[in-house]
C-alpha cells in the first residue's frame, strides 16, 4: 500500500514539475514577444514624434510676429526649452477689457500651449499692467 501511494505521489510530482516547466517556458516566450512588440512600438513612436516635431516646429520669428501685432504687449523675456517649447514673459498694459481681449487673442494664436503666473498691478492713473508667462509649442 505504501509503495502504491509513493508511486502515485511520484507521478503527481512529475506531472506538476512538467507542467511548471511548460508554463515557465510559455511565460518566457510571452515576455519575449511583449518586449519585442514594446520595442517596435517605442521605435515607431519616436519616429512619429520626430516627424511631428519637424512639421510643427515653431521658431522665434513666428512668435515675435504674432505678439508684435497685438497692441499694448511688451515682451520682457524670451526662452526656448530643449523639447521645442517657447516661453515668453509678457507685460500687457491697458484697461480691463483691453487686457482680456489681448489674452483671448493670444489664446487663439497657433501653437499656443498655456498661460501661467499671471500678476496684475494697478497704477495711480487706473491703468492696469498684467505680467504673464505664455508657452508655445
Last residue of a domain, one of 12, 30, 55: 55
> What pLDDT is attached to residue 1?
62
Instruction: Based on the fold, state whether residues 68 and 28 are members of the same structural domain.
Output: no
> What pLDDT is attached to residue 31?
96
Instruction: Based on the fold, state whether residues 65 and 90 are members of the same structural domain.
Output: yes
Instruction: Based on the fold, state whether residues 82 and 41 are members of the same structural domain.
Output: no
Contacts of 71 (CB under 8 A, 6+ apart): 98, 102
Instruction: Based on the fold, state whether residues 72 and 132 are members of the same structural domain.
Output: yes
More confident residue, 26 or 124: 26
> What pLDDT is attached to residue 3?
73
Instruction: Based on the fold, state whether residues 82 and 118 are members of the same structural domain.
Output: yes
Instruction: Based on the fold, state whether residues 103 and 73 are members of the same structural domain.
Output: yes
Map 23-59 to HEC letters: HHHHHHHHHHHHHHHHHHHHHHHHHHHHHHHHHCCCC
Domain that holds residue 36: 1-55
CATH number at residue 97: 3.30.70.60
Q: For residue 109, is pLDDT > 90?
A: no
Number of domains in the chain: 2
Query: What is the DSSP-derived secondary structure letter of residue 70?
Result: S
21-46: buried (b, 16+ CB within 10 Å) or exposed (e) per residue? eeeeeeeeeeeeeeeeeeeeeeeeee
Q: What are 29's three cell numbers?
A: 516566450
Last residue of a domain, one of 10, 32, 55: 55
User: What number is the average pLDDT over the span 72-101?
Assistant: 87
Instruction: Based on the fold, state whether residues 128 and 67 are members of the same structural domain.
Output: yes
pTM for the predicted model, two decimal places? 0.55
**Per residue in 16-59, pLDDT tens?**
999 999 999 999 999 999 999 999 999 998 888 777 665 556 77
Question: Going by DSSP bridges, is the β-strand pair 112-122/73-80 parallel, antiparallel, or unpaired?
Answer: unpaired
Q: Which of 59-63, 69-73, 80-84 has the highest mean pLDDT?
A: 69-73
Instruction: Based on the fold, state whether residues 76 and 129 are members of the same structural domain.
Output: yes
Cβ–Cβ < 8 Å for 133, 116: yes
Cβ–Cβ < 8 Å for 6, 13: no
Amino acid at each position: 500500500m505504501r509503495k502504491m501511494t509513493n508511486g502515485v505521489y511520484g507521478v503527481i510530482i512529475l506531472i506538476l514539475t512538467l507542467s511548471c516547466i511548460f508554463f515557465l517556458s510559455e511565460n518566457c516566450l510571452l515576455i519575449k514577444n511583449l518586449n519585442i512588440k514594446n520595442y517596435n512600438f517605442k521605435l515607431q513612436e519616436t519616429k512619429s514624434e520626430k516627424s511631428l516635431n519637424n512639421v510643427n516646429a515653431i521658431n522665434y520669428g513666428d512668435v515675435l510676429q504674432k505678439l508684435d501685432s497685438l497692441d499694448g504687449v511688451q515682451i520682457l523675456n524670451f526662452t526656448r526649452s530643449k523639447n521645442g517649447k517657447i516661453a515668453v514673459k509678457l507685460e500687457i498694459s491697458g484697461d480691463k477689457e483691453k487686457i482680456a481681449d489681448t489674452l483671448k487673442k493670444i489664446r487663439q494664436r497657433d501653437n499656443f500651449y498655456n498661460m501661467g503666473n499671471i500678476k496684475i498691478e494697478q497704477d495711480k492713473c487706473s491703468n492696469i499692467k498684467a505680467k504673464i508667462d505664455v508657452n508655445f509649442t
